[in-house]
Structure 1
């Protein structure tokens, strides 16, 4: 059965995603720029109403590229440590979504290793910055070597899921890392992308007039199940 992760911006969106049947949520703010680190009190509120699969928190200090400075990596690490305290004792898992690249389009191994260490046993996902990596196959090997749990990816496209590329990554990752498939997914196309890529998990928004649309979440879940 395919795991459905819905990207939301607030606790109300978390509740709507949960009630629509989502397995897990990612919480961030300012989706207009691809998402930034949410307020810590928003994460605390999200944990109280989250689905059983838990909450993934995007930890991204600024919009723009993913070639973060040493000071920005320090901030990401500090935010992970503080968010871990927010999640202590929560009824559902709390994980983190991060990503640091070199200016030339490779994964910043030192920074990525540091963030893996900072996250401890918490689930850790490398975000869509992965789609800017020049060699996705090598990039995936690096993330597996570092012990990342997931990578959020379209298969290398800026916006749209590429099923053939995703299928290759899914096969390469095997049981060592989960390919969290994204890229323009909605209820009308998610089942086809999952069938073609053999993905075990998918990530998408469920936008409506007032934020997350519970009925769209229900349609997504129904399409997959």
Structure 2
């Protein structure tokens, strides 16, 4: 009697292809959730008072927002993290020179961090030195999820209050270079969530 069903021979290639499709599908679904979270992100209203503000370098709008919060007395101290060696307050605040000059004594420019992982360490050292229990975090909206994970791991027990800033490239429509950048940022976020943020141990200033 002929067999109605034949057992398929094991194929490593077919198994690999299925695993690849499953991973790609999971990544794509997660990326869509990440995009939705980024575009819906907004700071608490009203923004609660905090012990300090940290702004991660990478865009002029971020510095402007952080200075605005400092001027509004949302927190008494401000850290500009990731400024890079040889960079000073005046290099970031050409359009806000009066505010920067007025509050210069309350502003610390961090020169050590060149990656988001190092931003977390630099922020933690500064916050601990000032005995902070709450911190407003200012960075781009697409960068905020990864920044919160890195800072939160370096500074457990401190309340982090996100104040996301939307960069100009994301205000109108998503061009291909912007979408590619968002895909790269989401992939970095997954690496950080897996506890491998130290892999990004070197880089230039910005959202590395």
By the TM > 0.5 criterion, same fold?
no
Q: Determine which structure has the larger helix proportion and give its number.
A: 2
- Normalising to structure 1: TM-score of the pair? 0.29
Bigger fraction of residues in strand: 1
Q: TM-score, normalised by structure 2?
A: 0.30
Structure whose alpha-carbon radius of gyration is higher: 2
